[in-house]
Amino acid sequence: MSAKSDRSSFEMPFGPDDAEALRRILIWRRDVRHFSRDPVEEPVLDRLRQAMDSAPSVGNARPWRVIRVEDAALRAAVRSEFARCNAEAAEAYDEARRAAYASLKLAGLEAAPIQLAVFTDIDPPEGHGLGRRTIPQTLRQSTAMAVHTLWLAARAENIGLGMVSILDPQEMERLFEAPPHWEFAAYLCIGYAAFDDDTPLLQRVGWQSSKPSSWQRR
């Protein structure tokens, strides 16, 4: 292979087929809440972990801390906390909207075979403070990017992922006996989707449609 072709290959490693595949993965990235109980094979989970490790992070600090939740009592405690927070959230709506809210399935905690509790280390030694002294939120943003990377990698494996946000962060930190410098970030349900659907549930049931964003010029 000539030097010229080497440079060309390096400068443009991806083509239209790759762009189309990524577009399809982004569309199918939806929040899955209906799961099959079929197990996810360990080699697949290893690939997902490696994908998460490839996410960008401020100062290369990689502040996400992940607990694979397998203990039945701990899973039950998370379900109980979700039920408590969900009931409180419902009370914030008027009667008509509350009825619509109650009809929504907002978590896959009962069936998802893999469940991950994700935390952010808000004072990691890694990275030596680079990039976060003026904007310390970049540590939390790094964890969010790691979750999104995991989400896309899961969809590429034909696996669904759902994030449970109706949880009290402080209670989750207590349940998992998190160190003082760990901040709860997300609870993730992972598994094979019970059915295929490329339309987000909240959009399908009329709760909230997707609106295009705009990039303003200044």
Whole-number pLDDT of residue 5: 47
Whole-number pLDDT of residue 11: 64
Whole-number pLDDT of residue 8: 52
Gap between the terminal Cα atoms of the chain? 46
Instruction: Report d(CA 136, CA 120) in Å as an integer.
Output: 12
Residue 118, SS3 per DSSP? strand
Question: Strands (DSSP E) along the chain, which ranges?
Answer: 64-68, 114-121, 160-164, 182-191
Q: Tell me the average confidence (pLDDT) per consecutive run of 10 residues in the chain, 218 residues long.
A: 48 86 89 91 97 94 97 97 92 88 85 97 93 93 97 95 95 97 97 82 74 87
Whole-number pLDDT of residue 122: 95
Q: Do β-strands 182-191 and 114-121 pair in parallel, antiparallel, or remain unpaired?
A: antiparallel
For domain 32-195, is the CATH number 3.40.50.2020? no
Cα angle, residue 184 at apex, residues 164 and 91 outer, rounded to 5°: 50
Instruction: Report d(CA 55, CA 5) in Å as an integer.
Output: 30
Burial class (CB in 10 A: 0-12, 13-18, 19+), 125: exposed
Return the domain boundaries, the chain.
32-195
